[in-house]
């Protein structure tokens, strides 16, 4: 490294460096990587190392690269995995480790590295504390991207009274970083994070070190003005020569060299910014890496890479391919203004929420659109590094994030300003930053052309600046062919919660203030102004709830009969003549609308509004027309769904505490209050997440040991089994329990009605099963009937439900259709129509017939019955001839066995619905029944002679606890 530093430092710079510079460079080269030293004692005690445990916790990320890295780690042995993990912990923290050791301070590692710290102190104990601190900062510097901070790396730091004892810490840090980055020969891994070496494969790091492939690193010949190699011209390029036997090492090195190139540019820019602080500053000429000498054996010597057509890319980013609506230019420009204002006023300490202002103006005559703000403005550095660099967002810059770790910006991609060229060729940006002595005026005439920057004096040209002392103004001259919507309405739609004053001025009219303070205020405004609500007889309120950065407001309406508050549906006729006010329904990120559907859903059925702020806010796609499916997005949806569910939970709790409601009656209202959610559950943005949150609502009435309580589906899943009881008597008792003036149980009522055994099974009884379709279907997805215990004289059927195992015990034609219908959509539609016809005839779910496909089922006291109705579903008795006949087909190895079972069960359901006597059933009936239901294709899967014989010889007797008298082929 010392030899490399000898040619890295230009000859002209060597003459201005001091002995102090050389001393600190030499010491830092020897000490900077001592942080990689690990003692046996430290490694063996790693599980008691707080620093290491914290590092492991911080590595929990959902990024694809990290997940792939973790997957490959999991395939290693435990010893290899532990060694690599600790190696990467040390590699990631070795700068901080060596700094602490040199300064003599302790790490938060339970003193496991104390022996190393003492050893280092014995080597440098003669240096005073100031010099030790300077050396410590230098040694740490090669692991931190803050090389431009001259308050930390003083360009003229005196460690004595003479010039010879003065050190340029920034320059020495740059030289140290450079020679450290270039030291990739002879198996030495450079001191950077593993992600920069090989972000996906931990093994490739080791293999790369072993290959020893880099033969030479040297300065390229300098070039004179004619481009000829010159021995006197200063070079600005470093050449690499390497030969790889495997492609992995080649890609690892070339990726690393791209990182090295970016670091060289960063060092060059850092010195450029600080050079005015010294009368004769040292130079750092290195800007480029030449990797043409890196080759892989067996591959073409020429390397290839993607190339971008800048002209076409810019056309893409400024055309309708990305943004399908020219109105988005208003959103894009105001979003940038909002970020600048928030940074100026709320990202400071203490925050000021009242000073920010944005003005949007539109002149129809001149076709000039202007967006002005009093935010931070843009410095020359921000203009160069971000505004004029497509895809570079100021707020995503690592240095910005380090300085403002809690600031969550709306701007993300660094392409928003390009939207201006959708409608204009003449764009003028005036900006004033406190960081620069003068303001700037940027003139842009084409997205493909050059730009001019004019300096404006903050004193004499204050009026021309227009945004003094800080802020920006973007002015567009729209093309004559460009179309833009109603500026006021567009701004109102996008800028819902700006957290600053936003005014819109159209032509010579008075400026109108837009935006709301909260989602609740926005919905209250809509209710007050909407004609739809003015003619409504219902009482409405707006509820607002929050959960870790998510604020959700929704409109509820009171049912005067049941005295509950349920979600209000969005008006469906807001575009009609009597009401032109658009419902305010949206999901906003940092106050700006992104999706204009009910938060958490794909439609607008519920009148609600959400705003998500902070670091956990979901990310938008490039066009900002939708939210990306990321971990933040899923977490946001969970919070939104939980807030909806909380309203239902709170209402049930409130009703149950009321003197007008028993617990049973209060819980009975829960499905009705939640109905707007369950009704559109399939239209949820992520239905399974909504289902998880709805499962936390305690709308299940469970009675056990004579006590009644309400539990959630989530709690029900923790049980192994429960019972339902079908009985007219128990149904009547449930009506009494519900209407009773105080909380009582069915057990206590039945105990008072009869002596001895009251006929209820032992264990938990699901009292309100079947009261709501959504709840019932959710339960049936997890549990299935396993035992049927009948009492004919008492007209009672007790059903035991257990968790569904890997192989279900029952199958129905409906279940089979869920698979078959995926392939044959016409068949699926015909079956759905068949179910609808059954419902119209009053035979609820009569089209569904359940067949036992397992022997692990108990049916007691039903030997004289061929089928039975349990919880409004029809079950064939496992011992019934028809059931055995179909079961044999199900168990057969025939590839068409499943569709055959479906066909037979469907025909039998039709046979029952048309009340066709068994002795009159023939093969012609099969064709007729299927034809009438558009299911003719099913006949080919039925062995007509054997099926007809089973039906004609079978005796039908149905057990239905709710039947007044037994009738063939009828449910309740």
Tell whether the model's pLDDT for residue 384 goes beyond 60.
yes
Q: Categorize the per-residue pLDDT at 575 as very low, low, confident or very high, splitting at 50, 70 and 90.
A: very low
Tell whether the model's pLDDT for residue 206 goes beyond 50.
no
Nearest CA among 587, 611, 613, 614 for reference residue 601: 587
Tell whether the model's pLDDT for residue 196 goes beyond 50.
no
- What one-character-per-residue DSSP string does 579-648 give? --PPP--EEEETTEEEE-SSTTBSS--B-EEEEE-STTPPPB-TTSSSB--SHHHHHHHHHHHHHHHHHH
Q: Return the H-helix or E-strand segment holding 63.
A: none
Q: State how far the Cα of 230 lies from the Cα of 851, in Å rounded to an integer.
A: 91
- Phi then psi dihedrals of residue 536, to 5 deg: -75, 140
Q: Categorize the per-residue pLDDT at 844 as very low, low, confident or very high, splitting at 50, 70 and 90.
A: very low
Task: Check if the beta carbon of residue 282 is closer than 8 Å to that of residue 17.
Answer: yes
311-514 topology per CATH? Heat Shock Protein 90 (3.30.565)
Q: State how far the Cα of 868 lies from the Cα of 960, in Å rounded to an integer.
A: 6
Strand ranges, E, within 792-842: 796-803, 810-812
Task: Check if the beta carbon of residue 637 is closer than 8 Å to that of residue 686.
Answer: yes
Mean pLDDT of 854-882: 95
Q: State how far the Cα of 529 lies from the Cα of 510, in Å rounded to an integer.
A: 21
What was the pLDDT predicted at 387?
81
What was the pLDDT predicted at 722?
97
Query: In whole numbers, what is the pLDDT of the chain averaged over residues?
Result: 86
Q: Categorize the per-residue pLDDT at 841 as very low, low, confident or very high, splitting at 50, 70 and 90.
A: low
Mean pLDDT of 277-286: 92
pLDDT tens-digit map of 902-953: 999 989 988 888 888 888 888 899 888 888 888 888 889 999 999 999 999 9
Nearest CA among 471, 500, 498 for reference residue 353: 500
pLDDT tens-digit map of 311-344: 666 666 565 555 556 778 888 899 999 999 999 9
pTM for this prediction = 0.73
What was the pLDDT predicted at 964?
57
- DSSP state letter for 684: B
Tell whether the model's pLDDT for residue 99 goes beyond 90.
yes
Domain-by-domain residue ranges, the chain? 311-514, 519-626, 807-972
Nearest CA among 622, 362, 626 for reference residue 482: 362
Q: State how far the Cα of 361 lies from the Cα of 363, in Å rounded to an integer.
A: 7
pLDDT tens-digit map of 801-820: 999 998 999 999 888 888 77
Helix axes 169-182, 129-141, angle to 10 degrees: 40
- Phi then psi dihedrals of residue 495, to 5 deg: -95, 80
Q: State how far the Cα of 695 lies from the Cα of 778, in Å rounded to an integer.
A: 9
Tell whether the model's pLDDT for residue 764 goes beyond 60.
yes
Q: State how far the Cα of 521 lies from the Cα of 542, in Å rounded to an integer.
A: 9
pLDDT tens-digit map of 434-464: 999 999 999 887 766 677 899 999 999 999 9
pLDDT tens-digit map of 602-629: 999 899 999 999 988 998 877 777 888 8
Residue with more model confidence, 452 or 969: 452
pLDDT tens-digit map of 345-372: 876 666 676 789 999 999 999 999 999 9
Top-ranked range on mean pLDDT: pick from 27-31, 50-54, 114-118, 352-356:
27-31
pLDDT tens-digit map of 404-416: 888 888 876 667 6
pLDDT tens-digit map of 17-42: 999 999 999 999 999 999 999 988 88
Residue 145: both structure tokens together: 């991207």
Among 89-98, 272-281, 745-754, 769-778, which is the least confidently predicted range? Answer: 745-754
């Amino acid at each position: 490294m010392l030899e490399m530093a000898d040619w890295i430092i230009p000859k002209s710079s060597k003459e201005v460096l001091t002995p102090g510079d050389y001393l600190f460079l030499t010491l830092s080269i020897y000490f900077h990587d001592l942080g990689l030293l690990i003692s046996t004692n430290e490694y063996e005690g790693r599980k008691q190392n707080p620093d290491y445990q914290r590092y492991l916790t911080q590595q929990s990320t959902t990024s694809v690269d990290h997940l792939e890295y973790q997957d490959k780690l999991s395939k290693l042995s435990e010893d290899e995995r532990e060694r690599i993990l600790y190696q990467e912990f040390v590699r990631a923290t070795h700068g901080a480790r060596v700094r602490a050791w040199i300064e003599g301070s302790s790490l938060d590692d339970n003193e496991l590295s104390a022996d190393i710290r003492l050893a280092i102190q014995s080597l440098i104990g003669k240096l005073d504390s100031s010099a030790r601190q300077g050396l410590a900062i230098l040694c740490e510097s090669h692991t931190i991207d803050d090389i431009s901070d001259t308050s930390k790396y003083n360009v003229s730091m005196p460690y004595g009274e003479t010039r010879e004892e003065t050190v340029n810490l920034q320059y020495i840090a740059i030289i140290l970083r450079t020679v450290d980055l270039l030291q990739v020969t002879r198996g030495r891994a450079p001191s950077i994070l593993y992600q920069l070496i090989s972000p996906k494969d931990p093994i490739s790091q080791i293999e790369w070190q072993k290959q020893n492939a880099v033969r030479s690193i040297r300065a390229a010949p300098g070039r004179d003005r004619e481009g000829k190699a010159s021995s006197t011209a200063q070079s600005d390029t470093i050449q690499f020569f390497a030969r790889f036997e495997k492609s992995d090492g080649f890609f690892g090195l070339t990726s690393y060299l791209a990182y090295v190139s970016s670091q060289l540019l960063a060092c060059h820019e850092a010195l450029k910014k600080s050079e005015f602080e010294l009368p004769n500053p040292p130079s750092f000429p290195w800007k480029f890496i030449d990797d043409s000498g890196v080759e892989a054996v067996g591959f073409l010597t020429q390397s290839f890479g993607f190339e971008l057509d800048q002209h076409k890319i810019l056309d893409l980013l400024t055309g309708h391919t990305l943004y399908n609506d020219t109105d988005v230019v208003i959103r894009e420009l105001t979003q940038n203004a909002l970020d600048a204002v928030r940074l100026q006023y709320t990202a400071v300490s203490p925050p000021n929420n009242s000073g920010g202002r944005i003005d949007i103006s539109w002149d129809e005559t001149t076709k000039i659109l202007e967006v002005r703000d009093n935010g931070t403005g843009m410095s020359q550095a921000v203009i160069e590094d971000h505004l004029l660099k497509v895809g570079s967002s100021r707020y995503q810059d690592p240095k910005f994030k380090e300085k403002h770790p809690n600031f969550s910006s709306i701007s993300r991609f660094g392409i928003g300003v390009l939207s201006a060229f959708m409608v204009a060729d003449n764009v003028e940006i005036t900006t004033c930053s406190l960081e620069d002595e003068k303001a700037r005026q940027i003139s842009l005439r084409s997205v493909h052309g050059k730009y001019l920057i004019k300096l404006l004096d903050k004193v004499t040209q204050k009026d021309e600046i227009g945004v003094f002392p800080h802020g920006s103004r973007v002015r567009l001259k729209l093309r004559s062919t460009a179309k833009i919507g109603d500026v006021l309405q567009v701004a109102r739609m996008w800028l819902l919660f700006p957290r600053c004053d936003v005014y819109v001025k159209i032509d010579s009219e008075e400026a109108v203030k837009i935006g709301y303070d909260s989602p609740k205020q926005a919905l209250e405004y809509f209710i007050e102004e909407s004609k739809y609500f003015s003619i409504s007889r219902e009482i409405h309120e707006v509820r607002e709830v929050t959960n870790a950065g998510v604020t959700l407001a929704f409109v509820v309406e009171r049912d005067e009969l049941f005295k509950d508050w349920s979600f209000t549906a969005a008006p469906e006729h807001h575009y009609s003549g009597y009401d032109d006010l658009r419902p305010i329904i949206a999901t906003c990120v940092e106050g700006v609308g992104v999706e204009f559907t009910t938060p958490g859903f794909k439609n607008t059925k519920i009148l609600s509004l959400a705003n998500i702020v902070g670091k956990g806010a979901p990310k938008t796609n490039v066009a900002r027309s939708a939210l990306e499916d990321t971990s933040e997005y899923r977490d946001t949806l969970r919070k939104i769904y939980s807030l909806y569910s909380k309203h239902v939970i709170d209402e049930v709790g409130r009703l149950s505490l009321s003197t007008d409601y028993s617990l049973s009656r209060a819980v009975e209202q829960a499905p009705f209050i939640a109905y707007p959610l369950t009704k559109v559950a399939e239209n949820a943005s992520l239905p399974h997440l909504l289902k998880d949150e709805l499962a936390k609502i305690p709308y299940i009435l469970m009675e056990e040991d004579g006590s009644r309580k309400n539990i959630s589906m989530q709690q029900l899943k923790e049980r192994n089994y429960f019972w339902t009881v079908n009985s007219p008597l128990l149904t009547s008792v449930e009506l009494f329990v519900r209407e009773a003036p105080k909380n009582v149980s069915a057990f206590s009522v039945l105990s008072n009605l009869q002596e001895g055994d009251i006929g209820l099974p032992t264990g938990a009884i699901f009292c309100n099963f079947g009261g709501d379709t959504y709840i019932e279907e959710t339960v049936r997805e997890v549990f299935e009937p396993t035992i049927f215990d009948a009492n004919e004289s008492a007209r009672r059927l007790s059903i035991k439900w257990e968790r569904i195992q890997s192989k279900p015990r029952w199958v129905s034609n409906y279940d089979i259709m869920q698979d078959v219908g995926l392939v044959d959509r016409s068949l699926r539609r015909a079956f759905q129509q068949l179910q609808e016809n059954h419902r119209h005839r009053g035979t609820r779910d009569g089209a569904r017939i359940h067949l036992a496909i397992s022997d692990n089922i108990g049916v007691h006291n039903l030997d004289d019955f061929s089928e039975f109705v349990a919880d409004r579903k029809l079950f064939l008795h496992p011992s019934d001839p028809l059931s055995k006949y179909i079961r044999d087909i199900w168990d057969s190895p025939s590839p068409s066995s499943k569709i055959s079972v479906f066909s037979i069960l469907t025909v039998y359901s039709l046979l029952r619905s048309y009340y066709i006597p068994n002795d009159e059933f023939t093969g012609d009936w099969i064709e007729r029944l299927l034809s009438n239901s558009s299911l003719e294709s099913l006949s080919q899967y039925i062995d007509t002679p054997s099926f007809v014989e089973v039906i004609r010889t079978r005796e039908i007797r149905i057990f239905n606890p709710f039947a007044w008298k037994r009738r063939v082929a009828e449910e309740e």
